[in-house]
Amino acid sequence: MEVLIYSVLTDFRAWALILVIAVCLGVLSKGADILVEEAVSLSLHWGIPKMIIGATIVSLGTTLPEAAVSVLAAVKGNADLALGNAIGSIIVDTGLIIGVSAWVGVLTIDKALINHQGRVQLAAGILLSVSCLPFFDGKGVVAQWMGVLFLLLLVGYLYSTIKWGKKSKGEISVPLTEEKSSLFVQLLKLVFGIVIVIGSSKILIPAVEITASRIGIPQSVIAATLVAFGTSLPELVTALTAVRKGHGEIAIGNVIGADILNVLFVVGSSAAVTKGGLMVPIDFYKLQIPFMLILVIIFRLIAKSKKGYIAKKEGTVLFGIYLIYLVLNYI
């Protein structure tokens, strides 16, 4: 099937390939959106506070596109796409999504969430940066054993977060839509969302590869910008929906959780399925990794402020850093 898809796309013109990428990203976003809605609805049965739902259940659903694209790319030997998508998504989540959400409405900061999850978010960013350094294997590689370690840390993170969340006094989660359906229908929708996400990813990856070779832009740059933006659309849609409905905690929790999962889940699973690990492009040390750390650190400082919310001015700072990053990728 993959050979057939690749051969068909090879005959497409550049504009048609760009159109295919845009459609795939849209379908990917819709599939993840279905997953998120049903996951949040199911969480009602578990009695988990809504500040934790954003950092675990919703984040797992919205991070699935990144994981699907990166793992499939890693299996095919495209480490540039796999790693670029993960790091780029952290940059999009922290810079673009928080920035835009702060303009749309009030981004309330839950101090307990920031104190508990915020430290993990910063630690995950530092862990990824250190693991990319060349002193482990003599070259810039996120080794397979590191990927396995990340996945083990992921299990521990989810367990400890849900356990902590149940002990906290946060509000119980509410779904982002008013639509109600039976448990069986919700499970069917979850499966349908997974099929959409994986299916669209299988078309998206070869389309990006062919487009990159046609227009002469490195695949790692396309992955860290265009693909990262596309796979982060579920986070963007979820954050904006949550803010408009007055659930700013879900928006903040979603971004924090997504940043953590992009390291432990996306990079971890991508590296774990490849014997040689994920090679780190040399440009990542100059642009992608520094900007990722800058945004995560600034977000941490903003979130730790005593105001209790992220203002439009602070959102503008984060968004401005994202724009600078975007421009530097293409000059």
pLDDT digit string, tens, across residues 215-249: 777 877 888 887 888 777 767 777 787 787 777 77
Domain count, the chain: 1
Mean pLDDT for all residues in the chain: 80
Q: Which two tokens stand for residue 287?
A: 């642009």
Q: Which two tokens stand for residue 226?
A: 């265009």
Check: pTM over 0.85? Answer yes or no: no
**Is the per-residue pLDDT at 131 higher than 80?**
yes
Residue written as token pair 């832009």: 217
Q: What is the pLDDT of residue 154?
A: 93
63-74 residue pLDDT tens: 777 888 888 888
Query: Cβ distance 239 to 246 under 8 Å?
Result: no
Instruction: Residue 30: give the domain boundaries.
Output: 2-329
- Is the torsion defined by CA of 110, 111, 115, 121 positive or negative? positive
Q: In angstroms, rounded to a whole number, what is the distance separating the alpha carbons of residues 330 and 270?
A: 26
Q: What is the pLDDT of residue 44?
A: 60
Backbone dihedral angles phi then psi of residue 67, each to the nearest 5 degrees: -65, -45
3-state secondary structure 170-225: CCECCCCCCCCCCHHHHHHHHHHHHHHHHHHHHHHHHHHHHHHHHHCCCHHHHHHH
Q: Which two tokens stand for residue 74?
A: 């890693």
Residue 16 C-beta-side C-alpha neighbours within 13 Å: 6
The CATH number linked to 193 is 1.20.1420.30
Q: What is the pLDDT of residue 165?
A: 66
72-86 residue pLDDT tens: 888 888 878 889 989
**Is the per-residue pLDDT at 173 higher than 50?**
no
Q: Which two tokens stand for residue 59?
A: 């984040």
